Every structure is written in structure tokens, then in C-alpha cells.
Amino acid sequence: MLFRTLAAFILLVSATPSLAGQYTPQAGAADNFPGHRHGHGQRIGLPPELKLLWRHEEKPQLKALSKQERHGWLRSHWAAMSDKEKKAKTAELEAKWKSLPSTVQTAMLEKIRDRRESRHMRHEERRRDSSGAHNQEQHG
């Protein structure tokens, strides 16, 4: 619960137009939440807004791939990069992010927040449904 509150506060502060143009990611910011993906594969060491930019940049190439090939494409390309290439890609994406108008940055951050919230709601719904079925089996 504390993580969700903290994450919501961070997104709210970063979505503020006056602060959005002053974005400076912390070194290792993506590593601050180990296990965030619950151990499902390797994480990309980029903030969500930079991943969204990269995905948008690669959209034409990704659309040409089949759905199976598209799945995990960013992750596999990130894993295949050397540290030097990762730093260069991160710097390139940060420069693009900073050059975007604050309204576009805010819209992208809202899109990320909305996706996260809907994913969280689906997860909570599944958890409620499975616990409800489990309770019925015990008491029924």
C-alpha cells in the first residue's frame, strides 16, 4: 500500500507541468524496486517514460513483426546491448524526453499512470475472484 501511495505521489509530482521539464532520473532509479516484476524475466533499466518513448520510436519496426516476435523485443534488445550502448541509448532517450513540450510529457505520464492503474485493478479483481472461490470451497 505504501509503495502505491509513494508511486502515485511521484507520478503526480512528475506530471506537474512546471516540474515535468526538469526531469532528471536518479542513477539506478529502475533498480530501486527489486522484484517489482515479481521475477518475471529481466527488467529494462529505464524509467517508464523512456521505455514508452523507445517503444514509440520502434513502432514501425515492431509492427512488421508477428505478435510473438514483438513480445519481449525491447527487453531482449536491451539485454543484448553493451553497457556503453545502454548509456548512449539512455542519454538519447533522455534528450528526446527533455525536448518534448510539457503538455506531451504530461500526457505520456498520464498514459503510463492509467495503464498501471488498470493493470492494478485487473490484478486486484483476479485476486478477489480467486480468494472468493477459495473461501467458498472451504466453507461450502
Residue 106 lies in a domain: yes
Q: Say if CB 21 and CB 105 are below 8 A apart.
A: yes
User: For each of the chain's 140 residues, which pLDDT tens digit applies?
Assistant: 545 555 555 655 555 555 445 555 544 444 444 444 444 445 677 888 888 898 888 888 888 888 888 888 888 888 999 999 999 999 999 999 999 999 999 998 998 899 889 989 999 988 888 876 555 555 55
The answer on 108 and 95 residing in a single domain is no
Q: How far apart are CA 64 and CA 84, in angstroms?
A: 28
The answer on 90 and 44 residing in a single domain is yes
> Can you read off the three cell numbers belonging to residue 13?
509530482
Residue 22 lies in a domain: no
Number of domains in the chain: 2
Residue 34 lies in a domain: no
* Domain carrying residue 127: 101-140
CB atoms within 10 A of CB 46: 21
- pTM of the shown model: 0.55
